[in-house]
Amino acid sequence: MISHGKDIKVFTGNANPKLAEEICKLMGTKLGEAEVGTFSDGEIFVSLYETVRGSDVFVVQSTCTPVNNNLMELLIMIDALKRASAGRITAVMPYYGYARQDRKAKARDPITAKLVANMLTAAGADRVLTMDLHASQIQGFFDIPVDNLAGNPIFVDYYAKKFGSACEDMVVVSPDVGSVSRARAFAQKLHMNLAIVDKRRQKANQCEVMNVIGDVRDKDCIIFDDMVDTGGSLCNAAQALIDVGGAKSVHACASHGVLSGPAIDRINNSVITELALLDTIPAIDPAKSGKIHYLSVASMFAEAIERIYQEVSISKLFR
């Protein structure tokens, strides 16, 4: 098969080294030798300890907490690789931060998703590989190829095995109107019906649940979303399904577990039976919550990286 660059190399910053190691293990390669640290004033430095000249290089780095540090690590690593004459540089961002500001919702708003896209391109990235962008149009913010993997096949497999034939009696719930298309695709794969929680957001990180659209009475529900940040929207939606809709039980799943602020306490105290998350962001300590269950994305990213290197289609990963 044709390959781009003389060999393949995978590096990682400090955001999610465990995931990078799992990806390398599945690919049968070793993680590239590099040091990513800080000077005493907080400035980030990068040292590459092996040649990358002509190589097809993949940098695994989610821009999760601390967001700005992890983003700068990624940009500086890309710059170091470019100056070391890497053949092609792919930014592998399982979680793409700053994606929530993807348009001007009100006057004088920034569009940070586009700004980050510009920064990655200016730093020297030739390609971006990510998963479940908060808004799919962010792909169009780049002038370089962007592969946006879907996490729903992992959840489909998980729930099909967990509930078996009982799946068809369950209901997938979109936590808001904006997530309906994502939830519908998930529901179709599991042959489930779809419901929507209609909410009215008052201000950032706070929302008020209004009503439930669809029949969830005496049903087991799965709330499907792309991320859980403070957990307010998710827990309010789950409570509404029980109180307003009359649901029997509520499970939840999301691609990115940001889990900031009071999120873990809210989830622990909520009516949610289990929250399944992908490990695009490092897993929390299991002792903090018995309700949170992580599923690995390593195999999907490993296959995507190998296919990009071999210059073959990755479209099968979207199905």
DSSP 254: E
Region class of 292: left (phi > 0), else alpha (psi between -120 and 50), else beta: beta
Q: How far apart (Å, rounded) are the C-alpha atoms in residues 27 and 166? A: 35
Confirm whether 199 is a catalytic residue. yes
What residues contact 200, with CB distance under 8 A and at least 6 apart? 207, 208, 210
Query: In 33-45, which positions are buried (b, 16+ CB within 10 angstroms) versus exposed (e)?
Result: ebebeeeeeeebe
- The sign one gets for the Cα dihedral 237, 240, 246, 248 is positive
3-state DSSP assignment of residue 293: strand
Burial class (CB in 10 A: 0-12, 13-18, 19+), 193: middle
Provide the residue type at 215 as one letter: D
Best CA proximity match to 307, nearest among 147, 139, 150: 147
**Of 9, 189, 199, 219, catalytic:** 199
Q: Alpha helix (H) ranges present in the chain? A: 17-27, 67-83, 112-123, 152-163, 180-189, 232-243, 263-268, 298-309
Of 90, 88, 95, the residue nearest 70 (C-alpha): 95
Q: Which residues are catalytic?
A: 199
